[in-house]
Amino acid sequence: MELLDKLTILSDAAKYDAACTSSGMDRPGRPGTIGSTTAPGCCHSFSADGRCISLLKVLMTNVCVYDCQYCINRRSNDLPRATFTPEELCELTMGFYRRNYIEGLFLSSSVLVSPDYTTERMITVLRLLREKYRFGGYIHAKAIPGADPILTRQLGLLADRLSVNIELPSQRSLALLAPEKGKQAILAPMAQIRDGIAVSRQELRLSRRAPRFAPAGQSTQMIVGATPESDRHILSLTQSLYDKYKLKRVFYSAYMPVSHSPLLPAPDGFRPPLQREHRLYQADWLLRFYGFRAEELLDEVQPDLDPRLDPKCCWALRHLEFFPVEVNRADYEALLRVPGVGVTSAQRILTARRVGPLTFEGLKRLGVVLKRAQYFLTCSGHPMVGLRVREDGLLRHLLALEGPQEQSYGQQLSLFDPPAPPLRRAL
């Protein structure tokens, strides 16, 4: 089989993995090696679906012993199968990297023979890259659940970031759709990686020559929309992963119908919940950078994120007693809670107000989105001039900013609709 065909098959099999970041690690290039990494990461291209292409995202093989229902590479699926040899994969990575096509390698794999065997093959590839080809670029490797902890450790010493995918956000769904994977099999390597990173950080403080274990942290991914979990369930799980497992990122992937399994939504007419995924990412940012907690955003009364408005606006509308916030006096945490003020503009406000009081005109220059923020801010005690909105009109004003809405809530009455059933019979 030609290398081109292998690449096509194995990148096609890997594309449903959402993570493609090259961030979290600053390693300048060293003479004699090729490659460097930068902490903010770098996108090298964007595919037609609008997602960033940063790493060469491929599977080492798509031959799998498992039969997970949601996965395109499941054993029972009739697909062309291929496997890279370690040399092929290294040549490909180096060729792409030299031409500045990619920032590094994202190496995942289906389970060939056994988790141990698969991990050993991945280690061979990474060792060749780092030692023979002197590659100093970014490597994101998948830890295979069920592999020996010693092998996972070796993998982490060669890679920059490790990830273990949770895939389904609850134990019940996992038992139903991926019976060969257990919750424990997924969480055990996560805990091992967390501890490995903590120990490695400690050792690096004592000696800068200490081995670096997954220096860019670990991440995970969940599929959204394949199973009936609520947004509240997903966000609380995310929160506990950030708290307990010290993850760098949790990725959400809207379920794409790749299987006819009766346990999953039927592929005909199924639309991937892209809007829901978008709102989840917005909420995820609120958890990581804005000091929100999952339980603040959603509760039992409201278990799902509002598709019409972003989660921060929704929170603000439910907590009007928190507003208005005074721009010239409020602390950073309070500024971050204002819709229309982000991390960058909040920091700019802190800088700019040291040299003089800020006005609404000045705020506009700083990059604050006034069309949203104007309802929630005062400058030196004054609200925006000409702003007259009562509390009950606020939702309407904010909704109007989001642009034309889909007609999913409420319908216009028509004279020619079939008559509604008489009220008494309906009762």
Binding site for another protein (CB under 8 A): 3-4, 7-8, 11-12, 14-16, 28-36, 38, 40, 42-54, 56-57, 92, 95-96, 98-101, 103, 137, 254, 256-257, 272, 274, 348, 351-352, 354-356, 358-359, 361-363, 365-366
Q: How far is the CB of 337 from another protein (least distance, A)?
A: 21
Q: Which CB atom, from 7 or from 155, has the smaller least distance to another protein? A: 7
CB nearer to another protein: pick between 94 and 317: 94
CB atoms within 10 A of CB 147: 21
Distance between the two ends of the chain, CA-based, in angstroms? Answer: 68
Q: Measured from the CB atom, is 34 or 185 closer to another protein?
A: 34
As a whole number of angstroms, the distance between CA 349 and CA 328 comes to 8
**Helix 311-318 crosses helix 394-401 at what angle (to 10 degrees)?**
170
Residue 24 CB, nearest approach to another protein (Å): 17
In a 3-state reduction of DSSP, which class is residue 25?
coil
The 8 Å CB, 24+ separation contacts for 398-404 are 398/309, 398/313, 398/317, 398/339, 398/372, 399/308, 399/309, 401/371, 401/372, 402/308, 402/309
CB atoms within 10 A of CB 18: 20
Q: Least distance (Å) from another protein to the CB of residue 61? A: 16
242 to 5, 37, 69: CA distances (angstroms): 39, 24, 27
User: 58, 7 in Cβ contact below 8 A?
Assistant: yes
> Shortest gap between Cβ of 119 and another protein (angstroms)?
24
Nearer to another protein, 255 or 315 (CB): 255
Alpha-carbon distance of 280 to 235, in angstroms, equals: 8
CB of 328 to another protein, least distance (A): 12
- Residue with smaller CB distance to another protein, 229 or 277: 277
Q: Please give the DSSP secondary-structure letter assigned to residue 129.
A: I
CB of 116 to another protein, least distance (A): 29
CB of 399 to another protein, least distance (A): 22
Other beta carbons within 10 angstroms of residue 378's beta carbon come to 17
Instruction: Closer to another protein by CB, 196 or 257: give it.
Output: 257
Quick one: 56 or 166, whose CB is closer to another protein? 56
